[in-house]
Structure 1
């Protein structure tokens, strides 16, 4: 399978399939076979709609006689979150009661399978010499499938409860004047990424194993996973290429547990902190919880994984701030100085780790050095269309007790 780099040939082929009467569900199978790719049905519909060739293949049930509707004009639009917006203009022979059941049937949705999220409807009466009193009826509703709700917290707690913690390992504590930050931003694991990162992982392990560390901070800086749902969408519902979430989490476990195991052997303490990304708010938090459960018996490991956009940790006398980089860019200094005033006051050196833009940049914000780290994430359709061009690497930063000593690119 290959990634799809969309061009006019793909759009014309979609148009050709539509001309043959294919629904989007059937078209995506033929499309993937023709181009040897794995585009999802939702992504295909999105591309077709943006190109001006939308599919119209909703399962429209016949309207119940109770609605008594004639001359109806109904339009359906698929939303990014899986819901559907439906609008109708029609004439009704009897006054509508505006109940959810009536609205669903009027819009050709089965009340046993769909529910109304939002609705705006109105009606007014008209007199016809032939048909007597009738009602003009206009309605706009947003519907979603029944049973589509997920209690995210309950789901995360259920998954984490099945994670068995590793056995307690007695740490070997040897004094050291070396400190290390391992920032992990924008790794975008997608189930097929680990092989791309193997070389970097080996370099990271070589550095970690090369000496004794007094303290190490591992930052899960957001967008560790490429998507945030089984539908291959991000936190905000942006449709991306089809991604196997189970394989994604497996890759993340292999990569980060390998790092953590090495750090625990060569560092007197390890602090794991995590921040929100814009791709994986739920999956990223779930994964941090899994790591917390796996290593909860380790006496020399601490966790700061509560959902938050901004985090900080004292590494010796080095203030280490972390945020994904998609929010609060204009006032980082004031934000961190006020949120973490006690640590800020004790620090001799202050640095901030960010990501998000997939490019490396170092900037002194006025006594607060921002390190925007790059990534080795392979270019996908979305970043290719945005024209993102950057040097691909990960980095680790070494400190003494109160100043920066070295940056390692891996």
Structure 2
């Protein structure tokens, strides 16, 4: 569907220097995609729709050009002779107007440049940390609200040497799941700028990750489905996986799933958004993750969804329903939801819960 990956690249490879190609793809509200490219090509382009599609990594058999603005100018290279700087912006739509979400995600993620590998500093510690991020509902205007909490999180992370850290993307990290400002199920919400939303998410979480990698021997990132942002949330987890693919002390569990678990020392850390399976948490996690469950000395479950804090012992399995600093919107206001607004982090020893921090 989307970009040609195993392709017949003959017409493009004969023109383009792929090492210098920079492409950006943005989905539009009407389902079309705007693609921009800056590159150097070895011969003058013919500017045909087929050439433009292939230059932007789209299969002409499955895509058509809706609009285009392209230009080129020649340059002289002492090593390669005459070449052309090529700039192009096109709007494309699939033939048949069908959009494959999985392939769109693959297309976007493939253009995220991985960060340079940073050699980890390994120092033995008996301190472990969970950073649960549930219901942040980033909407392009949220980051300034979370800055104070982010600074507190960074202060805590920087204050210790952590043996292992688990960062949980617990669902509803983004407020909406489409350019039409709707949730996964199509519920209409306030107008939201998705591009700015993802930018905010990158700033917030990459700042956290950078600090954790400097002060923790290992970082495990896990993600679970929310009810607002299944597609955007999964896309964002994939972007982070791509960005940190070279980091040797960071691991990922981002497969699309409602229920996740990780062993933090001998602490079983479960995670689910909190909108499904509430009546069977113990049996669900004990059966799904039997090996980890059996090894654990301490078992805890992180949930969100309700935007309120609650701690409950389910019978040897403590549920920590975490709150959020998300500003009150029309939906929560009409429901009459009143809750203390905070984020929290939880510190563990190898086998026990030590401290809950509110930030």
Provide the TM-score with structure 1 as the length reference. Answer: 0.65
Q: Distance in 2 between matches of 1:373 and 1:284?
A: 18
Q: 1:171 to 1:59 in 2, by over 3 A?
A: closer
Structure 2: runs of 5 or more not aligned:
none
Larger radius of gyration: 1
Q: Distance in 2 between matches of 1:77 and 1:149?
A: 16
Q: 1:114 to 1:382 in 2, by over 3 A?
A: farther
Query: Do the aligned residues in 2 keep the contact of 1:191 with 1:245 (CA within 8 Å)?
Result: yes
The equivalent residue for 2:325 is 376
Structure 1: runs of 5 or more not aligned:
1-51
Q: 1:409 to 1:57 in 2, by over 3 A?
A: same
Q: What secondary structure, in the 3-state scheme, does the structure 2 residue paired with 1:198 have? A: helix
1:90-124 Cα shifts (integer Å, max 9, x gaps): 99999999999999999999999999999999999
Q: 1:156 to 1:229 in 2, by over 3 A?
A: same
1:125 Cα shift? 71
1:388 Cα shift? 1.1
Query: Do the aligned residues in 1 keep the contact of 2:3 with 2:57 (CA within 8 Å)?
Result: no
Q: What secondary structure, in the 3-state scheme, does the structure 1 residue paired with 2:299 have? A: strand
Q: 1:123 to 1:383 in 2, by over 3 A?
A: farther
Q: 1:384 to 1:121 in 2, by over 3 A?
A: farther
1:230-263 Cα shifts (integer Å, max 9, x gaps): 0000000000000000000000000000000000
Q: 1:387 to 1:169 in 2, by over 3 A?
A: same
Query: Do the aligned residues in 2 keep the contact of 1:70 with 1:92 (CA within 8 Å)?
Result: no
Q: 1:174 to 1:132 in 2, by over 3 A?
A: closer
1:19-66 Cα shifts (integer Å, max 9, x gaps): xxxxxxxxxxxxxxxxxxxxxxxxxxxxxxxxx999999999999999
Q: Distance in 1 between matches of 2:231 and 2:133?
A: 17
Query: Do the aligned residues in 1 keep the contact of 2:36 with 2:56 (CA within 8 Å)?
Result: yes
Q: Distance in 1 between matches of 2:301 and 2:56?
A: 52
Query: Do the aligned residues in 1 keep the contact of 2:29 with 2:180 (CA within 8 Å)?
Result: no
Q: Aligned to 1:193, which of 142, 145, 152?
A: 142
Q: Distance in 2 between matches of 1:399 and 1:278?
A: 29
1:222 Cα shift? 0.1
Q: 1:122 to 1:345 in 2, by over 3 A?
A: same
Q: Aligned to 1:147, which of 96, 109, 124?
A: 96
1:150 Cα shift? 1.5
The equivalent residue for 1:262 is 211
1:149 Cα shift? 2.6
The equivalent residue for 1:215 is 164
Query: Do the aligned residues in 2 keep the contact of 1:179 with 1:214 (CA within 8 Å)?
Result: yes
Q: Distance in 1 between matches of 2:2 and 2:118?
A: 60
Q: 1:267 to 1:147 in 2, by over 3 A?
A: same
Q: What secondary structure, in the 3-state scheme, does the structure 2 residue paired with 1:70 have? A: helix
CA RMSD, aligned part only?
15.7
Residues matched between the structures, number:
359
1:300-334 Cα shifts (integer Å, max 9, x gaps): 00000000000000000000000000000000000
Q: Distance in 1 between matches of 2:65 and 2:145?
A: 45
Query: Do the aligned residues in 1 keep the contact of 2:137 with 2:174 (CA within 8 Å)?
Result: yes
Query: Do the aligned residues in 1 keep the contact of 2:25 with 2:108 (CA within 8 Å)?
Result: no
2:307 pairs with 1:358: yes
Query: Do the aligned residues in 2 keep the contact of 1:63 with 1:108 (CA within 8 Å)?
Result: no
Structure 1 moving runs of 4+ over 2 Å: 52-149
